[in-house]
Each structure stands twice: as structure tokens, then as C-alpha cells.
Amino acid sequence: MHSLFHHEHGPEAPHIDRIHPHAAMPGGEVELHGRNLGPHTTTHHLKLPHITIGDTPAQTLFSHATRTILRVPEGSISGDILLHRNGDSSNGAALHVAVPMAENLHPVANPAVDADGNVYTTLSGSRNQQTPVSIFKIERDFQLRPFVRDILNPTGIAFDPDGYLYASSRAEGTVYRISPSGAVSTYAEGMGIATGIAFDRDGNLFVGDRSGTIFKIGKPDAVGASGEIFVYATLEPSFVAYHLAFNDAGTLFVTGPTTSSNQAIYAIDRDGNTTVFYRGLGRAQGIAFDVDDNLYVAASLHGQRGIVRITSHHEASLVVSGPNLVGLAFLEDGNATLATRDALYHVALNIEGRRLF
């Protein structure tokens, strides 16, 4: 079929200099920067440019000569963004689009990844709702399999160095220990409204009670029983959950959504002293680190939802645009899995995640 558009390199042809961000979820917004990107005048009216991602048309949300914003449509796959205007097509700009891994879920925090690259996530349910499956396992071929049943409101999940999965129940204030075969045992009780969990390099488990406490639980003994439990730090309460992650230096980072649109990420040192690492996010939730000590958080930055990268120098930028994100986990080969309120997605980011152990 003959295209109505043709590539031109003349002074009036559209040209994309850069896009931001380079990755997006369906429903996410991407900015194009360049020249001759705006509407053009026909004999009858002003006409917006036509934008495609691969062969899929995208909605134009804003159009200006040097800046245009598009929305990534459902069903899109990774490909080149082209802007078509007045019979000419721009150069291509590569966009990584997240694709569904598993749907009909209910994650409320980060997924967890085992040593073999399998991904685990929750069907958390509303308060005191008993769901038919508590935790699912998603194998590398994206096959979804039930892994654990009968944990009420599973919230935070994380692996220990021995390959056991731990899950908090915010309804019961309990942390459960789960063997690689899916056998469940109680690990710790009395954790308040237990939400986010994370292990440090020494095998100690940290649990966020969203009413304002971070607990530290000594590493398990030879039979898997927990060690000493004590209060590690206290924070402002969260109406949803705390989310926890360690950096290489052993500093614990915590987010906990409040009603503020100017939320903070907290840093807690080895002695339990708390400082504000970054302030200025909306509904900051799941967090993870890459090998270069950059922090990634599911949050809103300047009103745009997605995955935000914050450098060790406290510089923030959006790396994935998309709605409803609650968490993330890095996979091998620079990929990541992204959790929304009801699904998991897979996207290429060319980012190597920090090794947890």
C-alpha cells in the first residue's frame, strides 16, 4: 500500500531531536522535542500532526512547533515513534513499551524475583478479603501459576539469601516464611499493620508497620525461626503501606504514601537515624536500586505518574511513564517488571538492578 507520507529532510519537515521518557506503559504520556512538530494549516483549518508508534496510531495530547505530547495506546508494542505532518514524516525515535506479563492480580507493592528469574506477586484483596490465591508465580515464559494460598491480605514480599520467600499480612500483623515448594510457616507476629519488607546483606529482615514503626528482625536460625525483634526507627504513618529497599551502603530507604503531594523518601542509617533523602513526589510507593546506586520509585513527579529515577545527587527524572504503578523489580538483561494495581508488565529499560545478596 502506498503511504500518504514520505520522509523529507527539507526545512519544513518534522524532526525529532529527543523523546522523554524512553519507556512507557499503555496510557503513559511521552514528550517529543524537535522542530516542525506542531499543527499545520490546510485550506480549511489547522490540522494536528499524526503520530504513530510502529504501525499503531497514538493520540496527540498537545502540539507545538518544538514540543508535542502523545499518549501511548493500549495494544502498542515497542517501536519507532514517527510524526507525520503535511505529507512528511519525521525521523524515528525508539520507544520501549511495556507489555503485559499477567493480569487479574492485585499487587500493592514490588514484585519479587527468585534466583532463576521467576517473578512473584500478590492477589492482595481489600481489607480482610480472603482471596482464592494469595501469591502467584510467573515463570520466565510468562506462565502464571498459583504458589501460595490462605495468607490474608499479603502485602510486601521479598526473598532471603537462602531462596525462601517472605510475605507480610497487613490484616494479621504477621510475616510468613515460604519454602521454594510453597510450604508456609509463621515467621514473626505482632508487626502492627505489616506492609513493606526488605532484607539487609546480613540476613536481617526489616518490616514496615504503616502506623509508624520499622521493625528489625534478626536473621533466622538453623531451623528458620526468627531472631530478636526490636524497633529500628519510627516514621510518619502512611494510609496505604511502607515500601522498603536497601542500597549498597546498607542504608534503608522507605516510602509511605500520605495525603501530601510533596512526599518524602526517607533514609535510615545503620544506627536507626532517619533523614529525608528526597522530597517532592506524589504517592511514592515501591522502590528499588540499580547497580549505580540510583533509586527508582513508583510515584508522580511534576504531576506525571510513572517510575522516577533519583540519583545519589538527588536529581529526579521520569524513566517510565504510566498510570496506576505501585512497584517494580529489576530482571536480567536490563529488563524490569512493573506492577500496577491489577497487573504486571515487562519492559526493556537497559538498567541493571542491584543484586540483593
* Residue range 222-258, pLDDT digits in tens: 777 778 899 999 998 888 899 999 999 999 999 998 7
Q: Which of 97, 112, 136 is the last residue of a domain?
A: 97
Query: Are 280 and 339 in the same domain?
Result: yes
Query: Are 344 and 244 in the same domain?
Result: yes
What is the 8-class DSSP label of residue 132?
Answer: S
Residue 130 lies in a domain: yes
pLDDT value, residue 2: 36
Tens digit of pLDDT for each residue in 71-92?
999 999 999 999 999 889 999 9
Residue 357 lies in a domain: no
Residue 247 lies in a domain: yes
Residue 1 lies in a domain: no
CATH code assigned at 231: 2.130.10.10
Residue 188 lies in a domain: yes
Helix, strand, coil share of the chain (percent; to 5): 0, 50, 50
Query: Are 202 and 104 in the same domain?
Result: yes
Query: Are 302 and 203 in the same domain?
Result: yes
Count CA atoms closer than 13 A to 206's CA, side-chain side.
24
Burial pattern 292-323, b for ≥16 Cβ within 10 A else e, equals eebbbbbbbbeebbbbbbbeeeeebebbbbbe
Query: Are 35 and 121 in the same domain?
Result: no
Query: Are 253 and 275 in the same domain?
Result: yes
What is the 8-class DSSP label of residue 225?
Answer: -
CATH code assigned at 38: 2.60.40.10
Domain count, the chain: 2
What predicted TM-score, i.e. pTM, was given to this entire model? 0.94
Instruction: With beta carbons less than 8 A apart as the criterion, state whether 231 and 277 touch.
Output: no
Tens digit of pLDDT for each residue in 170-224?
999 999 999 999 999 999 999 999 999 999 999 999 999 999 999 999 987 777 7
Tens digit of pLDDT for each residue in 265-311?
999 999 999 999 999 999 999 999 999 999 999 999 999 999 999 99
Q: Which of 97, 131, 160 is the last residue of a domain?
A: 97
Query: Are 154 and 240 in the same domain?
Result: yes
Residue 355 lies in a domain: no
Query: Are 111 and 238 in the same domain?
Result: yes
Residue 107 lies in a domain: yes
Query: Are 40 and 182 in the same domain?
Result: no
Confidence of residue 259 (pLDDT cuts 50, 70, 90): confident
Domain holding 194, by residue range, is 99-348
